[in-house]
Amino acid sequence: MITILQGTADLAYIFGFALFGAFAAFLWAPLLSALLRRLNIMKRAKTELVTLGSHAYKATTPVMGGLLVVVTVALITFFFNWNRSFTWVPIGVMIISAALGAIDDLMNIYGAERRSRKLDHHLRLIRVHKELTMRLWYVVSLPWAAFKRMSVWFGSRSSRGVFVHEKLVLQFIAGTLTAWWIYAKLGPAWHYIYFPYGYSFNAGVWIVPIIVFIVMFTANAVNIADGMDGLAGGALIITFSALSLLSWINGFGEVAILNATAVGALTAYTYFNIKPARFMMGDVGSLGLGALLAVNAMAIGETTALFFLGFIFYVEALSVVIQVASKYLFGRKVFRMAPLHHHFELAGWSEERTVMRFWIIHFIFVVFGFYLALH
Amino acid sequence: MNTKTLSKRALSVIDQYLHFTFGSAVCSVPYFNNKTVRARASLRAEIGKGSPKDIFEEVETVAVKNHIDQTALSDGSLKKLLVESDIGVDCSAFAFYALNAESQETGKGSLDKHMHFVNCRGFAGKIMCALRPVENCDVATMADDKNSTAIPLEEIRPGDVITMTGGPERDERNHILVIHQVEYQNFTPYIAHYSHAAAYPEDGLYNTGIRQGTIEIPEAGKPLTEAHWSENIAAGAPNRILERARSSKTEVRRLRWF
């Protein structure tokens, strides 16, 4: 277990930042809500039918409410907790991921319909385009075109937002930045993956792809879980609270303060996100906070505990992976609908019941992750 | 005169397609052939290969997704919902599930255990067929000599199929009918009742689906296409299935393990 430690902070001081984060976020939340409404940053209903029934109000609920947390955390950290060793990379990664999410949110609202050319079409253009330069361009861009079509394999259809392949590239950059920081800057102790009861494994340079994968997967997992009012916000409060305490126990004062600030800001966000939501998190919040969660957990050497600390997010993401795999391989669904929260919604659970039960299950597993991390 | 039918389980499968029930609405599952949209790696129910259960679950999902009140659905709106959601069944999938139920009921195990998937070549193809048997069991597969044998019309019995392969058009789709009941007179087949999934040009978008009809078996030695075929079609409308039978290679076949 990594136990360095510089800059340890008093627990009361950490709690103070949680309160400060909540206070600051509560203060400007009405402003953000009004601004999002004024700019008409609302989700477009995909069909006329979804504007009917119990979900009708969601068509007029602003998105990008995650800005409340991302901006609050970034500003408080910048002004009161800026530490070159332990806070600027997590904040940088959070901002890169949040920026990607913001682009996606805005393109979904203001962007034009984007189409992805089929690979057969691309290959045909290589053969038949009248201009040689264009034919050469199509040859050169063939690998990218093939990569681009991956988005269709993931079930993504033409839309207004950022394509899956574009998201993956940008998330890869965020993941690589984290990996570089952890591998090159934090020191050899971070080349190890620590298991409970004192076991460890020296991954060496392989820690780099592992970190990249964890950052990308966690960011997307939180994004996937953000499908019901209050679900992602409430679960993130539990997760960041545990992470803050673990950071403090392991002696990472700055990271503990950063996590506590996130808890405070998330509390304000969740207050407004409880059904019926005043605003929704959007990709700007879910991708940014997902990346922050992964970076902070790995920075304090709790990579293995991360699965339990982010339990509900990973379960939701895995439900999508299982559903897509089953659909492709067997032509059958495992769940009535993925992500998992929709499965229960289809089974007749109300949104409130699903969200609260998910919080409770998540809390139990976070406590288990906390318990493991202490051993 | 006595009558033989498929097992109750197989008849129940046919009935679930014919009288598909969702909430209080009932309709026949529409015909859907994936060749019209060419969706790959999709759900079975979305490519015309779904069992009644698959179709029910998918309709349930679509209804909840779109906040449709199940109890308020009429028969017509259910059919419309199915058609507009690209949910339906094609002739080979319909035959597969009906015969699969029969095979299981008679203790011969599921169809895919016996079937030679003639379209699946190579290692990857074999894996594909093992994972998705229904999708790879088309009419040509069922009509292949490895899987079935042609039998004389006089020997027809429930569980046999009538295959129509080839046709006047180059890209004519093959077709298959399932014999679900046979009436005998003096121990010789007299009338064969069939079920199939079909879409006729007169059906428009919303009247396709599972149909049933009868064939009055002609005297021994006469071909099937000279029999009297009747189906519940509008007066004056052409007998499409008979036309199709006449323009294709039409055979009565029996699965080898039946």
Q: How far is B59 from chain A (nearest CA, A)?
A: 11
Residues 129-158 of B with CB under 8 A from A: 131-132, 134-135
* Closest residue in chain B to residue A346, using alpha carbons only: B64
Q: What is the pLDDT of residue A327?
A: 87
Assess contact for A236 and A65: CB atoms under 8 A.
no
Burial state string for A1-39 with b = 16 or more CB within 10 A and e = fewer than 16: bbeeeebebeeeebbebbebbbebbbeebeebbeebeee
> Is the pLDDT higher at A9 or at B141?
B141
Q: Is the dihedral of CA A310, A313, A318, A321 positive or negative?
A: negative
Q: What is the mean pLDDT of residues A58-87?
A: 88
Q: What is the pLDDT of residue A29?
A: 93
3-class DSSP state of B251: strand
Q: Chain-wide mean pLDDT for chain A?
A: 87
> By percentage, how much of chain A surpasses pLDDT 70?
91
> Is the pLDDT higher at B40 or at A230?
A230
Q: What is the pLDDT of residue A1?
A: 45
> What would the pLDDT profile of B54-93 be if each residue is shown by its tens digit?
999 899 888 877 778 778 889 999 999 999 998 999 999 9
Instruction: Say which DSSP state B89 is in.
Output: B
Q: What is the pLDDT of residue A52?
A: 43
- Map tokens 């009140």 to a residue: B69
A347 to chain B: which residues are within 8 Å by CB?
none
Q: What is the pLDDT of residue A3?
A: 46
Q: Tell me the pLDDT band of A147, cut-offs 50, 70 and 90.
A: confident
Q: What is the pLDDT of residue A45?
A: 56
Q: Is the pLDDT of residue A40 over 80?
A: yes
Q: Chain-wide mean pLDDT for chain B?
A: 89
CA atoms lying within 13 Å on the CB side of residue A72: 32
Q: What pTM does this model have?
A: 0.81
> What would the pLDDT profile of A4-29 be if each residue is shown by its tens digit?
444 456 888 899 999 999 999 999 99
Q: Using CA atoms, how far apart are residues A314 and A236, in angstroms rounded to an integer?
A: 12
Asked if A336 lies within 8 A of B61 by C-beta distance, the reply is yes
A330: nearest CB among B64, B68, B131:
B131
Q: Is the pLDDT of residue A44 over 70?
A: no
Query: Three-class SS string for chain A?
Result: CCCCCCCCCCHHHHHHHHHHHHHHHHHHHHHHHHHHHHCCCECCCCCCHHHCHHHHHHHHCECCCCHHHHHHHHHHHHHHCCCCCCCHHHHHHHHHHHHHHHHHHHHHHHCCCCCCCCHHHHHHHHHHCCCHHHHHHHHHCHHHHHHHCHHHHCCCCCCCCCCHHHHHHHHHHHHHHHHHHHHHHCCHHHHEEECHHHCEEECHHHHHHHHHHHHHHHHHHHHHHCCCCCHHHHHHHHHHHHHHHHHHHHCCHHHHHHHHHHHHHHHHHHHHHCCCCCCCCHHHHHHHHHHHHHHHHHHCCCCCCHHHHCHHHHHHHHHHHHHHHHHHHHCCCCCCCCCHHHHHHHCCCCHHHHHHHHHHHHHHHHHHHHHHHCC
Q: What is the pLDDT of residue A5?
A: 45
> Is the pLDDT higher at B38 or at A38?
A38
Q: What are phi and psi of A185, to 5 degrees?
A: -100, -35
Q: Is the pLDDT of residue B233 over 80?
A: no
> Is the pLDDT higher at A343 or at A118?
A343
Q: What is the mean pLDDT of residues A254-282?
A: 93
Asked if B67 lies within 8 A of A55 by C-beta distance, the reply is yes
Q: Is the pLDDT of residue A315 over 90?
A: yes
A52 to chain B: which residues are within 8 Å by CB?
66-67
ipTM of the complex: 0.74
Q: What is the DSSP string of B5-45?
A: E--HHHHHHHHHHHTEEETTEEEPPPB--GGGT---S--GG
> Is the pLDDT higher at B31 or at A89?
B31
Asked if B131 lies within 8 A of A329 by C-beta distance, the reply is yes
Asked if B49 lies within 8 A of A331 by C-beta distance, the reply is yes
- Map tokens 């820690």 to a residue: A207
Q: Is the pLDDT of residue B177 over 60?
A: yes
The tokens describing A277, both together, are 């939501």
> What would the pLDDT profile of A286-305 be if each residue is shown by its tens digit?
999 999 999 999 989 888 99
> What would the pLDDT profile of A152-180 be if each residue is shown by its tens digit?
666 555 567 778 888 888 888 888 888 88
Q: Is the pLDDT of residue A284 over 90?
A: yes
Q: Is the pLDDT of residue A2 over 50?
A: no
- Contact status of A5 with chain B (Cβ, < 8 Å): no
Q: Is the pLDDT of residue A48 over 60?
A: no
Least confident of A145-149, B112-116, B169-173: B169-173
Instruction: Say which DSSP state B219 is in.
Output: S
Asked if B64 lies within 8 A of A329 by C-beta distance, the reply is no
| A87-96, A104-113, B39-48, B219-228 — most confident range | A87-96
A327: nearest CB among B43, B65, B67:
B43
Q: Is the pLDDT of residue A79 over 80?
A: yes
Assess contact for B44 and B54: CB atoms under 8 A.
yes
Output the CA–CA distances (angstroms, integers) from residue B90 to A368, B36, B49, B79, B158, in the order listed.
Answer: 50, 11, 7, 16, 20
Q: Is the pLDDT of residue B106 over 60?
A: yes
- CA trace torsion A360, A361, A365, A370 (10° rounding): -10
Q: How far is B203 from chain A (nearest CA, A)?
A: 27
Q: What is the pLDDT of residue A159?
A: 67
Q: Tell me the pLDDT band of B142, cut-offs 50, 70 and 90.
A: very high
* Closest residue in chain B to residue A47, using alpha carbons only: B66
Q: What is the pLDDT of residue A154?
A: 62
Q: What is the pLDDT of residue A9?
A: 67
Q: Is the pLDDT of residue B5 over 50?
A: yes
Q: What is the pLDDT of residue A113?
A: 76
- Contact status of B173 with chain A (Cβ, < 8 Å): no
